[in-house]
Amino acid sequence: MIKIKNDRFRSSRGGASKVLTLGCGSCRSIIFDYQKDGKGNLIRLYLDRITNNYHNVELQSGSVKCPACSRALGNISIYKKENRVALFLERGALVKLS
Protein backbone atom coordinates (compact mmCIF):
# COMPACT_ATOMS: atom_id res chain seq x y z
CA MET A 1 0.00 0.00 0.00
CA ILE A 2 1.24 3.46 -0.90
CA LYS A 3 1.36 6.06 1.85
CA ILE A 4 -0.44 9.30 0.98
CA LYS A 5 1.48 12.52 1.60
CA ASN A 6 -0.31 14.92 3.91
CA ASP A 7 0.95 18.47 3.43
CA ARG A 8 -0.31 21.98 2.75
CA PHE A 9 -0.99 21.23 -0.92
CA ARG A 10 -3.32 18.37 -0.04
CA SER A 11 -5.26 20.41 2.51
CA SER A 12 -5.57 23.40 0.15
CA ARG A 13 -7.34 21.14 -2.39
CA GLY A 14 -9.98 19.92 0.02
CA GLY A 15 -8.10 17.02 1.59
CA ALA A 16 -9.43 14.43 -0.87
CA SER A 17 -6.57 12.34 -2.26
CA LYS A 18 -6.33 9.17 -4.29
CA VAL A 19 -3.51 7.19 -5.85
CA LEU A 20 -3.85 6.61 -9.60
CA THR A 21 -1.98 4.14 -11.76
CA LEU A 22 -1.22 5.94 -15.02
CA GLY A 23 -0.31 4.40 -18.35
CA CYS A 24 0.61 5.58 -21.82
CA GLY A 25 -2.36 6.76 -23.87
CA SER A 26 -1.08 4.90 -26.94
CA CYS A 27 0.34 1.56 -25.79
CA ARG A 28 -1.25 1.38 -22.29
CA SER A 29 2.01 0.37 -20.58
CA ILE A 30 2.09 1.28 -16.88
CA ILE A 31 4.31 4.29 -16.26
CA PHE A 32 3.56 5.96 -12.89
CA ASP A 33 1.60 5.75 -9.68
CA TYR A 34 0.54 9.28 -8.80
CA GLN A 35 -1.14 10.87 -5.79
CA LYS A 36 -3.90 13.13 -7.09
CA ASP A 37 -5.19 15.74 -4.67
CA GLY A 38 -8.60 17.29 -5.24
CA LYS A 39 -10.96 16.91 -8.15
CA GLY A 40 -10.59 17.73 -11.81
CA ASN A 41 -8.62 16.57 -14.82
CA LEU A 42 -4.92 15.75 -14.88
CA ILE A 43 -3.19 18.72 -16.48
CA ARG A 44 0.18 18.40 -14.78
CA LEU A 45 1.91 15.90 -12.51
CA TYR A 46 3.93 17.30 -9.63
CA LEU A 47 7.16 15.33 -9.43
CA ASP A 48 6.97 15.07 -5.62
CA ARG A 49 3.61 13.25 -5.99
CA ILE A 50 4.91 10.48 -8.28
CA THR A 51 5.20 7.48 -5.97
CA ASN A 52 6.26 4.70 -8.36
CA ASN A 53 8.16 5.22 -11.59
CA TYR A 54 7.84 1.74 -13.10
CA HIS A 55 10.26 2.18 -16.01
CA ASN A 56 12.59 4.68 -14.34
CA VAL A 57 11.48 7.31 -16.82
CA GLU A 58 13.97 10.19 -16.87
CA LEU A 59 12.26 13.12 -15.14
CA GLN A 60 15.17 15.57 -15.21
CA SER A 61 15.17 16.71 -18.83
CA GLY A 62 12.70 18.98 -20.62
CA SER A 63 10.78 16.40 -22.65
CA VAL A 64 9.43 13.10 -21.30
CA LYS A 65 8.60 10.12 -23.54
CA CYS A 66 6.99 6.72 -23.02
CA PRO A 67 9.74 4.10 -22.67
CA ALA A 68 7.74 1.51 -24.61
CA CYS A 69 6.47 3.42 -27.67
CA SER A 70 8.36 6.76 -27.48
CA ARG A 71 5.19 8.86 -27.45
CA ALA A 72 5.72 12.36 -26.02
CA LEU A 73 4.06 12.55 -22.59
CA GLY A 74 4.87 16.16 -21.74
CA ASN A 75 7.51 18.64 -20.63
CA ILE A 76 9.15 19.26 -17.26
CA SER A 77 8.87 22.83 -16.06
CA ILE A 78 8.25 24.86 -12.92
CA TYR A 79 4.63 25.63 -12.07
CA LYS A 80 5.12 29.25 -11.09
CA LYS A 81 1.92 29.65 -9.06
CA GLU A 82 3.16 27.14 -6.47
CA ASN A 83 6.88 27.17 -7.34
CA ARG A 84 6.90 23.38 -7.85
CA VAL A 85 8.49 21.23 -10.53
CA ALA A 86 5.81 19.56 -12.63
CA LEU A 87 5.34 17.45 -15.75
CA PHE A 88 2.93 19.38 -17.99
CA LEU A 89 1.04 16.70 -19.91
CA GLU A 90 0.22 16.49 -23.59
CA ARG A 91 -3.51 15.98 -24.15
CA GLY A 92 -4.36 12.27 -24.10
CA ALA A 93 -0.81 11.23 -23.25
CA LEU A 94 -1.74 9.37 -20.05
CA VAL A 95 -4.76 7.28 -19.09
CA LYS A 96 -5.95 6.06 -15.70
CA LEU A 97 -5.50 2.30 -15.44
CA SER A 98 -6.91 1.99 -11.91
Average pLDDT of the chain, as a whole number: 87
Q: What is the pLDDT of residue 93?
A: 96
Structural domains in the chain, sorted by start: 8-96 (2.170.150)
Low-confidence ranges of the chain (pLDDT < 70): 1-15
Output the 3-class SS for 19-75: EEEEEECCCCCEEEEEEEECCCCCCEEEHHHEEEECCCCCCCCCEEECCCCCCEEEE
